Chains A and B, each alone.
Chain A
Amino acid sequence: MRVYFRYAFRETISNLWRNRMMTLAAILTVAVSLSLVGSALLLKQSAAQASVAWQTGTRVTVWMNAAASQGELDAVRTQLADSPLVHKCVFFDQARDYKEFLASLPPSETNVLTVADMPTSFRCEPTIPADAFVVESTFKNQPGVYAVTAPEQQIRQMNHAIRILQVVFLALAGVLLLSATVLILNTIRMAIFARRREVSVMKLVGATNWFIRIPFITEGFIQGLLGSFVAAGVVTALHTWYPLHNEFALNNVALLGTNAVVIGVGVLIGSVGSAIAIRRFLDV
């Protein structure tokens, strides 16, 4: 057994080195395609997280003009309280809105704002989430109202955009994964061709089929694995530095899961590529 591992290791490394340009191309293609897969997965998870976060909070915000009079304010307050569409409302005065802005915006933007610049607002929860739009149309033309926003809609638009992005990512990744498999298949084919003499001698002296095959299989396996390691690095970097992901605070478990999928897929295409090459080109 020890003899065999030494042999298989030596053969695999020398095969990889002999075809190093092809090997590099295969590894890079695997890396790029799996980076796309990983990003698509991260995107999907953070979108799901974002929807949950927003849906549990306020759904409709009625923003008042900064110059709105107390009468206008009271009128809106009573109407909101009486409306059967609205479950409950909280009034945010200028100080409270200012505090929220400080928390949600970067300092570069908040330091030009003062409490006096802030609008006041009613944060309302509709009785039925789908009624958010009715509330919006009812109140947006009230005197003293600056605007009514329903984040529900933004979520929906964002989810839609993310879904399109995801489909594009996954389609691209699919095409790239396919070409990565073909590239791996081709490097194995070249390795088999380069070693046809050795293979024929091995068959002649009675080496078992697996003994002959395994160095070629590990070769594809290693290419898939190296490519997916690079992709896992890219995904981790994205998770750490790209703001979209941070904003929704995806935890490390999600990152680990994504990387596990990336590496699993890498190993899979490496093995599939070499398995096909061996079936087609290695006659043992």
Chain B
Amino acid sequence: MIRFENVGKTYPNGTPALKDINLDIKKGEFVFLVGASGSGKTTFLRLLLREELPDSGRILEAGRDIGELPKWRVPYLRRNIGCVFQDFRLLPNKSVYENVAFALEVIGRPRSTVESQVPQILELVGLSDKSKNLPSELSGGEQQRVAVARAFVNRPLILLADEPTGNLDPANSESIMALLERINRTGTTVVMATHDKALVDRMRRRVVVLDKGEIIRDQVRGVYGVNEGAAR
């Protein structure tokens, strides 16, 4: 599903963010991306979204080199990738329902699709009773669940999460994690960058460890690790 071949990325200001990354992620896999701050996790995810282009190597998604996509095709690539961030990125003046519906409306889905899909996904994240609330009326955990609903409402093949539990307490982290697992069980590939050691250790999923832009460990049933990446 996702394949990195000798990918290198240096930002225009000269900061090397990723060096010679080779990685294969299969359809339906759940992968933790861990590493110290500045090790290149966010850069990795940005490359997958084609918010950045690699300077060297190539990235394949669903067998296609995304570097070769013409610019106008990029939105269509992104329709197959859901995204969740540490800071939720909800629209503050729209209700829960409208926030989720927005993601479908702006890619031109007909109203009937919106009306059937949104309640369904709100049910999945357990927020049916709060669909009329504004984000400011929700807890952090609830807001993140709205963000997950928005990312998943178009049923993407890949779900990227950049420290989705970074701003949440353990109980809320737990419920987000459970949600991502459920989404993963539907066959969606999930890549999650995180600093949450307890979470990673308990889940026993594939762990890819980055250090200064390089992969230093890739384990199938991995743990966060003690030496490397324990910087936080």
Contacts and interface: CB of A to CB of B under 8 A. Distances in A.
Contacts of A202: 106
Contacts of A207: 75, 106-107
A153 interface: no
Interface string B103-147: 101111111000000000000000000000000000000000000
Contacts, number: 56
Interface in A194-241: 197-198, 200-209, 211-212
A209 B109 contact: no
B91 A204 contact: no
A3 interface: yes
Contact of A3 (B75, B77, B108): B108
Nearest to B79: A206
A202 B78 CA distance: 10
A91 interface: no
A41 B100 CA distance: 53
B206 interface: no
Nearest to A199: B106
Nearest to A198: B91
Nearest to B92: A197
A203 B107 CA distance: 10
B105 A7 contact: yes
A3 B111 contact: yes
B108 A205 contact: no
A100 B49 CA distance: 84
Given A207-B107, A209-B72, A201 B78 contact: no
Contact of A204 (B83, B105, B109, B110): B83
Contacts of A204: 49, 78, 83, 89
A7 to B, nearest CB: 6
B195 interface: no
A209 B107 CA distance: 11
Interface of B: 49, 72, 75-80, 83, 89, 91-92, 102-103, 105-111, 150, 154
Interface of A: 1, 3-4, 7, 197-198, 200-209, 211-212
9 contacts: A3-B109, A198-B91, A202-B106, A205-B107, A206-B76, A206-B77, A206-B107, A211-B106, A211-B107
Give 7 nearest A-B pairs by CB, closest first: A206-B78, A206-B79, A207-B106, A206-B75, A205-B103, A208-B75, A202-B106
